Chain A
């Protein structure tokens, strides 16, 4: 009886959330979630431009352009007490603006003018190019970054635009000229490729009044991405470290049940994280990323080198077991109770909600849904696990395949 009651409570909570999260489809690609009581306004401007749009030899220009074009605006934003973050993604660049209710409108205007109207500032571009080259250089010695590079190559293929880092490499970024950034901005950073999500104590009318001059109506425009060419067997990458990193990536298609896959990733992570029976796990991570046309479930562990092959098996099993057999209702409800809390807390900052809404909208979700665990069932979970493609496994560590 207890678990049934909990399940009903979960469903009730989720329904309320979905109801709150349902802005109507906006022809002007603007999505608003009015939240009385939230103390700040979060604005997510997501420009659907990524690696696939970058010209040959200019890998990383999307991120450089994003940093360069916002650099001159930062002083004004600081004076307004607004916080701006730039987040490079494979298929887009996210600009997250968080500001007080009395400053958000002005801060948003400043950001939109910088993005779509201001000419590129050559000094800012040179400054940001140097900064990115330094940052990427420092990251080259990070095993987490090295794993990510190997993983992307394995999942999409070395020649695929998504098979390389979205931020580029130090060498490639260092070669990009100011004129190329200017041309890229004019050609690619356009309102037609952009969605904006606004969350906070603001009305829809107010948001549209601020954004309308910058966001002419029309359907979202985007380009297609070539099909991936994933590695056909496990990839072993040599890396000078005292630990081994093992990553398994399951791709999924456009019709996948993404909320069920998120729950699956949470459950799988529980089974490979440090614990009394898994004392050799130094770190573990799970994530679900979604792009137009599909996405990936990723599971990563950091373990001693000699245990690499064993852990690759455990990663496969951590997901595969949920495809083999549906959970019993009692166990499922217990797991759902936990997942529901973790998922809600992932969205506890207004900027996280704005980012989630913008991503959903970019992927064509006309209601920009935040979460959808209303009707999660054991069967949905199993079906989602069954629908995954076979995993692509990457080992990174001393000797590459030493642990195998």
Chain B
């Protein structure tokens, strides 16, 4: 029984997690977090560069990822590993996973992503094409559109990962090493390792990072993001989005509130699909509610969404809060059951400035959320006007239905 008690909260139990910027290291050494998981002789290595794209070059970080990914995939395949590249709101992220015995080789692949790209870059047209496709996809279909439009209202500085058409045109002819120099500095790099490896070995593997370039672009223009109002995304149901900024809210209480709201609305709106999400980046926090509902139910659904916070406040009790917190904690454990997902979770918290043990603290705090905490969150959310987005279902004109 002791074993389970000690290990049940693998995320909360700190002994297997070490993180350090070594005292004798140069100022430009990366922060390293290691979570030991000796279950398999594998390791997931996550490298993140905490940076926004330079002004006027929105999408630059993700463009570099598209340029590098084919080469990275070939290199990682030699040891039977996997690689992924993610451009989040907080960081440019590369993750490799493979045998722990290949730690140095895999680390070398990740370090190579920090070197300034050449101009002209091989594969530039294909990478720009991929970015263009991602930009279009964000505005074409309702699920992505609703979230992107809400995010743009709440966090206007959080530009789309795929950038803008204007910025893409600039990037096509820009000196890429100069753009890169605005993004990369060794002190912005964080490393998370999860698997059968030791902290010292990971630190050694990342002891030397490429130096930053000295010169950035001579002129940094402003980004212009096209308005979402002009778009007509595809939808077969009515899509209703509401999001409340909650930058000062306690993150654990906000997560539990989101779970409570989701459970409550799913019970009430059985013919609709309901998602309630806790958004959390260095730009701030928000609670976002996205509902898709059949055409005939749209008016009732809009009323339910508008009154959601108030009605939830009238239905919160201690048992429900405890169950919701347990549900969020279990989801965290389930999500992190492979080394690369665990690395992603630890890294996301670190990239928001919470440090290498941020996820562990968050996990512990979830267990302490009370009914009063949730009520405080609901009151603060209710005090502000939410951002709202509505996408009507497309109707086929009667004459075309035959």
Contacts and interface: CB of A to CB of B under 8 A. Distances in A.
A208 B82 CA distance: 36
A39 B10 contact: yes
Contacts of A40: 333-334, 337
Chain B: interface secondary structure?
mixed
A101 B98 contact: no
| Residue among B7, B37, B78, B329 with the highest chain A CB neighbour number at 10 A | B7
Nearest to A33: B39
B81 interface: yes
Interface string A54-98: 000000000000000000000000000101000000000000001
Contact of B80 (A39, A100, A339, A347): A339
A344 interface: yes
B7 A103 contact: no
A201 B8 contact: yes
Given A100-B330, A100-B333, A338-B79, A36 B16 contact: yes
Interface in B360-386: none
Interface string B31-69: 000011111111000000000000000000000000000
B10 A13 contact: no
Nearest to B79: A341
A345 interface: yes
B326 to A, nearest CB: 7
Interface stretch (B99-107, B117-125, B130-138, B274-282): B99-107
A348 B3 contact: no
Nearest to A9: B101
Contact of A337 (B36, B42, B80, B340): B80
A349 B334 CA distance: 10
B7 A101 contact: yes
A206 B1 contact: yes
Nearest to A81: B330
Contact of A36 (B7, B329, B330): B7
A36 B6 CA distance: 9
Nearest to B334: A40
A17 B41 contact: yes
A347 B41 CA distance: 11
A348 B7 contact: no
A206 B3 contact: yes
B272 interface: no
B234 interface: no
Contact of A12 (B81, B101, B333): B101
A343 to B, nearest CB: 7
Contacts of B342: 39
B339 interface: yes
Contact of A39 (B4, B11, B196): B11
Interface string B293-322: 000000000000000000000000000000
A352 to B, nearest CB: 9
A344 B196 CA distance: 12
A367 interface: no
A10 B39 CA distance: 16
Nearest to A339: B80
Contacts of B102: 9, 337, 341
A259 B338 CA distance: 23
Contacts of B41: 13-14, 16-17, 344
A355 to B, nearest CB: 14
Max chain A CB contacts within 10 Å: which of B3, B36, B77, B196?
Answer: B3
B80 A83 contact: no
Contact of B39 (A38, A102, A203): A38
B331 interface: yes
Contact of A37 (B1, B37, B329, B330): B37
Nearest to A266: B80
A333 to B, nearest CB: 12
A320 B333 CA distance: 45
Given A81-B327, A81-B330, A100-B329, A13 B78 contact: no
B109 interface: no
Contacts of A14: 41
B336 interface: yes
Contacts of A206: 1, 3-4
Question: Of A12, A14, A343, A348, which is in contact with the most chain B CB atoms at under 10 Å from its CB?
Answer: A348
B84 to A, nearest CB: 13
Contacts of B7: 36-37, 101, 201
A342 interface: yes
B78 A337 contact: yes
B82 A345 contact: yes
B338 A349 contact: yes
A39 B336 contact: yes
A350 B336 CA distance: 11
B38 A343 contact: no
A401 to B, nearest CB: 36
Given A40-B333, A81-B334, A13 B8 contact: no
Nearest to B331: A81
B97 interface: yes
A340 interface: yes
B80 A343 contact: yes
Contacts of B98: 341, 344-345
Nearest to B81: A341
B9 interface: yes
Nearest to B42: A344
Interface string A145-182: 00000000000000000000000000000000000000
A99 B101 CA distance: 30
Contacts of B77: 338
Nearest to B342: A39
Given A35-B39, A37-B16, A203-B3, A345 B81 contact: yes
Given A98-B337, A341-B99, A37 B39 contact: yes
Nearest to A370: B40
Contacts of A36: 3, 7, 16, 38
Contacts of B10: 37-39, 101, 201
A202 interface: yes
Given A37-B38, A349-B338, A101 B9 contact: yes
Contact of A338 (B39, B78, B101, B326): B78
Contacts of B340: 348
Interface string A16-50: 11001000000000000011111110000000000
29 contacts: A10-B101, A13-B100, A16-B41, A34-B3, A36-B3, A37-B10, A37-B39, A38-B39, A38-B337, A40-B333, A101-B9, A101-B10, A103-B330, A202-B4, A203-B3, A338-B79, A338-B80, A339-B80, A340-B80, A341-B81, A344-B40, A344-B42, A344-B99, A345-B42, A345-B97, A347-B40, A348-B40, A348-B42, A353-B40
The 10 closest A-B pairs by CB, nearest first: A341-B80, A81-B330, A201-B7, A101-B8, A342-B80, A35-B39, A9-B101, A39-B10, A13-B41, A100-B330
Given A202-B3, A339-B80, 18 more contacts: A17-B40, A17-B41, A37-B10, A38-B10, A39-B342, A81-B334, A101-B9, A102-B326, A102-B330, A201-B3, A201-B7, A202-B4, A203-B1, A337-B78, A337-B102, A340-B79, A345-B82, A349-B338
